[in-house]
């Protein structure tokens, strides 16, 4: 089916080609994201139609006053007149929402109704919600950068007068009214949005942006870049610490200059290059860019960095790969010290070009570094930590090479083809919802709950066979039970093209989600949370557990309200030691150890097993109507609790030899085929008992 998508993007100077990034404080990465997305969408779906709706305004050239711009056969940009005809910053745009929505409704009624709207940034969501109310057109939302997060990291420098009250209100509207929220990273989905009143994790999907990274992988230095930097640097052959960002406060370039200025060792080893937007006269820059540039220049003067730092006045998009190549050819690295980075596209570009990275530990870089293993994360508020990380990479050739090789993983993982495949599939399902709920099978149906990693997934041919088999099971509801968070699990399932589960038991059984009627979003089971929270006192439990030797906390993203996650030293006694420490102070918790590496602490009543039993009762299924499948230690409770349990052939943690699991079926096949084999075995067994041979 063909799809007509209307994108709303109101911030910055948007045009179809040769975008002047940095010309204003709002002309940044979200425009690059949008244009790359729509081009990739059209390449994958040549019969779809894309319209981008923005504002018409004066002051930055005649193109931005034109009501229509044809970008390609499938893509067009429309510019609508609003109450003000002037260029406005994102902090001022809330005054134009009503007039823009009026103009866009009139345009839609005259030119055709889109199947769905995609709103970018809070201000666009406010307009999309009005259009949804008037015309009934659903919308999806991409936040790009969130007001609550910026307010948190900027502290007292952000005031209500700067439009933050309206921005945050728009984000609350988006979370309440959007059919789906598209996030770029788990950090955004699980931490950044969590502070909002209307936060609903099941309505958010993590789809990392793609990027045409091939252009950066094969980048070469051009004469323009060589000549420009030679004007600044006394020794242009030294390794380079490269940063590419607009000079706005949130990008925190001043911390990088301070880190460089305070470290004589770093100055001796490298030059610093700041590609900070495009400017003619600093004081003509809008927003806080002029102030940020003055601060950078003051720091350069304070630390007397002349000859060691370059800050070119302008660049073209074509120059960016050349800057990466310049740093790579000199054995340098890329730095992103942003106070918060919603995603981090420049990190992927730099990595694809062969550069190790030093990046903020706030936001999307957490996901990128975890996925690609391409650098170090630092506290952006600690200049000394930034300097130490840069020195560590530049001083150790083994570490440098290890991080540089992460570029191959970046190219493989963050591609637009995969992004668009998931994105368009979600749009299609929102436009034409079709779903079978477990409740529909109550009394007569069956339910299969499977672990994900190394059980359901791990063999592509087996997974394809499972998908075909699943489609032939109209009375078999399907769910997963995993140690992963909801968003991490959904990302794996959709990347592997697994049939969408009706039930998701996540975070080792501490959270349960049910598929909504639209077949795309999920609802968190509040009744389950109420049941397990009794006797759960998270902070005292955390303090006791972390006093036990041999365990180390996992990253912040792995910690949940009802799950504490650690790495263990692998010893056989670690569970007993943790349990004993908790018992000594009268605390109760479930302690689950898997793969001799991962240690999860949950409320006493929470586990995969108790969660499966809760789901079984919720849907009114008999015990012999439920199958479960697993492969490792964190599946033991689930396998123990259900008579029809399946251990796939590629099991670990000695599952097949545990006395409590003697009732389980040990499959001859591994992964998804082992699941199918086990279900068929129990069905044959049940059939034989119902029809004994006479």
Distance of alpha carbon 172 from alpha carbon 147, whole angstroms:
10
Q: Which residue has the tokens 């792995």?
A: 558
Q: Is the pLDDT of residue 327 over 90?
A: yes
CB 563 within 8 A of CB 545: no
Structural domains of the chain, count: 4
* Model pLDDT for residues 30-55, shown as the tens digit of each residue: 898 999 999 999 999 999 999 999 99
Closest by CA position to 515, among listed 439, 574, 580, 413: 439
Q: What confidence score (pLDDT) does residue 202 get?
A: 95
Instruction: Quick: pLDDT tens for 87-111.
Output: 999 889 999 999 999 999 999 999 9
In a domain, 291, yes or no: yes
Write down the pLDDT at residue 495. 82
DSSP state of 495: H
Q: What is the pLDDT of residues 424-474, one digit of tens each?
A: 999 999 998 654 444 444 445 899 999 999 999 999 999 999 999 998 988
Rounded to the nearest 10 degrees, the angle between the axes of helix 486-495 and helix 416-431 is 100
206, 223, 245 - which closes a domain: 206
If pLDDT is split at 50, 70 and 90, which confidence band does 653 have? confident
Write down the residue that tokens 């339910």 correspond to.
447
Check whether residue 286 and residue 358 sit in a common domain.
yes
The answer as to whether 428 is a domain residue is: no
Per-residue model confidence (pLDDT) at position 330: 97
Does residue 425 form part of some domain? no
Cβ atoms 275, 312 nearer than 8 A: yes
513: in domain: yes
Range of the structural domain that residue 597 is part of: 535-602
For 581-590, what is the mean pLDDT?
A: 93
Q: What is the 3-state secondary structure (H, E, C) of 255-269?
A: HHHHHHHHCHHHHHH
136/85 Cα distance (integer angstroms): 28
| Residue listed under structure tokens 């002051």 | 59
Q: How many whole angstroms separate alpha carbon 598 and alpha carbon 293?
A: 46
Q: Are residues 343 and 461 in the same domain?
A: no
3-state DSSP of 186-211: HHHHHHHHHHCCCCCHHHEEECCCCC
Query: Does 592 share its domain with 493?
Result: no
CA 90, 95, 97, 100 torsion: positive or negative?
negative
CB atoms inside a 10 Å sphere around CB 518: 16
CATH at 485: 3.40.50.1000
Tokens of 510: 């501490």
SS3 148: helix
- Cα separation, 596 vs 602, whole angstroms: 18
Do the domain assignments include residue 423? Answer: no
CA distance 530 to 298: 55
Name the domain boundary from 186, 206, 226.
Answer: 206
Q: 143 with 178, same domain?
A: yes
Q: Hey, which of 187-196, 231-240, 355-364 has the most confident mean pLDDT?
A: 231-240
DSSP 8-state code for residue 604 = T
pLDDT higher than 60, residue 209? yes
In a domain, 350, yes or no: yes
State yes or no: pLDDT of 522 exceeds 90: yes
Per the domain annotation, does 379 fall within a domain?
yes
**Mean pLDDT over residues 387-407, rounded?**
95
- Report yes or no on whether pTM surpasses 0.75: yes
pLDDT band at 603 (very low <50, low <70, confident <90, very high): very high
Q: What share of the chain is helix, strand, coil (3-state, %, to 5)?
A: 45, 15, 35
Q: Given this model, what pLDDT does residue 117 score? A: 98
Rounded to whole angstroms, how far apart are CA atoms 86 and 474?
A: 58
Rounded distance, CA 387 to CA 378, Å?
10
Best-predicted range by mean pLDDT (157-171, 406-420, 582-596, 603-617): 603-617
Q: 276 with 344, same domain?
A: yes
What's the CATH number where 314 sits? 3.40.50.2000
Q: Does residue 77 lie within any of the structural domains?
A: yes
| Domain co-membership, 316 together with 172 | no
**Residues 42 and 181 reside in one and the same domain:** yes
Q: Which residues contact 594 (CB under 8 A, 6 or more apart)?
A: 483, 600, 632, 633, 634, 635, 653
Task: Specify whether 102 is located in the same domain as 136.
Answer: yes
Q: Are residues 81 and 157 in the same domain?
A: yes
Looking at per-residue pLDDT, the higher value among 474 and 355 belongs to: 355
Shared domain check, 245 and 188: no
Beta strands in 198-248 (DSSP E): 204-206, 240-244
Confidence of residue 611 (pLDDT cuts 50, 70, 90): very high
Percent of the chain with pLDDT over 70: 96
Residue range 333-337: average pLDDT? 97
Q: What is the DSSP letter of 478?
A: E
> Which band of pLDDT confidence, cut at 50, 70 and 90, is reported for residue 1?
confident
When mean pLDDT is compared over 260-264, 288-292, 340-344, 419-423, the highest value belongs to 260-264
3-class SS of residue 411: helix
Would you state the pLDDT for residue 434? 56
Q: Is the pLDDT of residue 280 over 80?
A: yes
Q: Distance from first CA to last CA of the chain, Å, rounded?
A: 55
> Rounded to whole angstroms, how far apart are CA atoms 357 and 341?
14
- Return the DSSP state at 342: S
Q: Could you tell me if 104 and 113 are in contact, meaning their C-beta atoms sit under 8 angstroms apart? A: no
Tokens of 689: 């008992």
Task: Give me the chain's average pLDDT, please.
Answer: 91
| Whether residue 620 sits in one domain with residue 569 | no
Q: CA-CA-CA-CA torsion for 241, 243, 248, 252, nearest 10 degrees? A: -40
| 319 and 466 belong to one structural domain | no
Give the residue from 546, 568, 602 where a domain finishes.
602
Please tell me the distance from the alpha carbon of residue 348 to that of residue 357, in angstroms, as a whole number.
Answer: 9
Q: What is the DSSP annotation of 543-593?
A: HHHTTSTTEEE--GGG-BTTBEEEEE---TTHHHHHHHHHHHTT---EEEE
Neighbouring residues of 32: CB distance < 8 A, sequence distance ≥ 6:
19, 21, 345
Nearest to 139 by CA among 156, 151, 121: 121
Do residues 279 and 311 make contact, with C-beta atoms less than 8 angstroms apart? no
């Amino acid at each position: 089916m063909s799809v007509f998508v209307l994108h709303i993007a109101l911030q910055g100077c948007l045009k179809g080609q040769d975008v002047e990034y940095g010309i204003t404080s709002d002309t940044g990465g979200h425009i690059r994201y949008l244009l790359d997305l729509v081009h990739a969408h059209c390449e994958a779906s040549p019969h779809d139609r894309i319209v981008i709706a923005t504002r018409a305004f004066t002051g930055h050239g005649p193109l931005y006053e034109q009501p229509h711009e044809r970008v390609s056969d499938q893509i067009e940009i429309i510019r609508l007149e609003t109450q003000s005809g002037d260029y406005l910053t994102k902090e001022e745009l809330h005054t134009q929402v009503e007039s823009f929505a009026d103009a866009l409704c009139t345009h839609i009624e005259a030119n055709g109704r889109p199947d769905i709207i995609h709103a970018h940034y809070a201000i666009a969501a406010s307009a999309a919600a009005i259009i949804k109310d008037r015309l009934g057109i659903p919308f999806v939302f991409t936040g790009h950068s969130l007001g609550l997060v910026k307010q948190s990291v900027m502290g007292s420098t952000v005031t209500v007068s700067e439009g933050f009250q309206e921005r945050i209100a728009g984000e609350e509207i988006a979370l309440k009214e959007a059919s789906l929220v598209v996030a770029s990273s788990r950090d955004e989905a699980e931490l950044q949005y969590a502070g909002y009143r209307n936060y609903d994790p099941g309505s958010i999907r993590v789809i990392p942006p793609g990027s045409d990274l091939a252009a950066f992988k094969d980048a070469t230095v051009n004469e323009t870049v060589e000549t420009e930097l030679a004007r600044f640097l006394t020794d242009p052959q030294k390794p380079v610490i490269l940063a590419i960002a607009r000079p706005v406060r949130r990008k925190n370039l001043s911390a990088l200059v301070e880190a460089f200025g305070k470290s004589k060792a770093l100055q001796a080893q490298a030059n610093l290059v700041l590609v900070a937007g495009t400017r003619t006269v600093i004081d003509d820059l809008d927003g806080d860019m002029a102030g940020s540039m003055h601060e950078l220049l003051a720091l350069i003067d304070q630390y007397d960095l002349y000859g060691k730092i370059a800050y070119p006045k302008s660049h073209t998009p074509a120059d960016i790969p050349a800057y990466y190549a310049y740093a790579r050819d000199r054995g340098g690295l890329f730095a992103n010290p942003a106070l918060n980075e919603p995603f981090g596209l420049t990190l992927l570009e730099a990595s694809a070009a062969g550069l190790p990275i030093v990046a903020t530990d706030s936001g999307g870089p957490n996901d990128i570094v975890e996925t690609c293993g391409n650098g170090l994360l630092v506290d952006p508020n600690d200049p000394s930590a930034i300097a130490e990380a840069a020195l560590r990479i530049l001083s150790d050739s083994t570490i440098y090479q290890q991080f540089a090789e992460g570029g191959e993983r970046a190219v493989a993982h963050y591609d637009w083809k995969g992004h668009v495949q998931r994105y368009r599939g979600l749009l299609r399902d929102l436009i034409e919802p079709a779903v079978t709920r477990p409740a529909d099978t109550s009394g007569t149906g069956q339910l299969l709950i499977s672990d994900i990693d190394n059980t359901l997934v791990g063999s592509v041919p087996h997974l394809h066979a499972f998908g075909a088999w699943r489609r032939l099971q109209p009375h078999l509801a399907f769910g997963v039970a995993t140690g992963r968070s909801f968003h991490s699990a959904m990302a794996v399932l959709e990347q592997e093209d697994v049939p969408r589960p009706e039930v998701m038991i996540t975070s080792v059984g501490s959270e349960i989600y049910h598929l909504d009627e639209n077949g795309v979003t999920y609802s968190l089971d509040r009744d389950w949370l109420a049941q397990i929270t009794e006797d759960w006192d998270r902070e005292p439990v955390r303090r006791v557990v972390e006093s036990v030797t041999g365990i180390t906390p996992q990253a912040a993203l792995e910690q949940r309200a009802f799950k504490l996650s650690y790495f263990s030293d692998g010893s056989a006694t670690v569970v007993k030691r943790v349990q004993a420490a908790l018992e000594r102070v009268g605390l109760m918790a479930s302690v689950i150890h898997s793969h001799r590496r991962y240690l999860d602490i949950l409320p006493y009543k929470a586990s995969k097993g108790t969660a499966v039993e809760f789901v079984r009762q919720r849907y009114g299924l008999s015990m012999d109507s439920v199958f479960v499948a697993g492969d490792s230690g964190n599946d033991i409770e689930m396998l123990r609790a259900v008579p029809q349990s399946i251990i796939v052939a590629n099991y670990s943690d000695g599952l097949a030899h545990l006395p409590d699991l003697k009732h389980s079926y040990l499959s001859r096949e591994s992964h998804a085929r082992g699941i199918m084999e086990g279900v068929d075995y129990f069905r044959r067994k049940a059939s034989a008992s119902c029809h004994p041979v006479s």
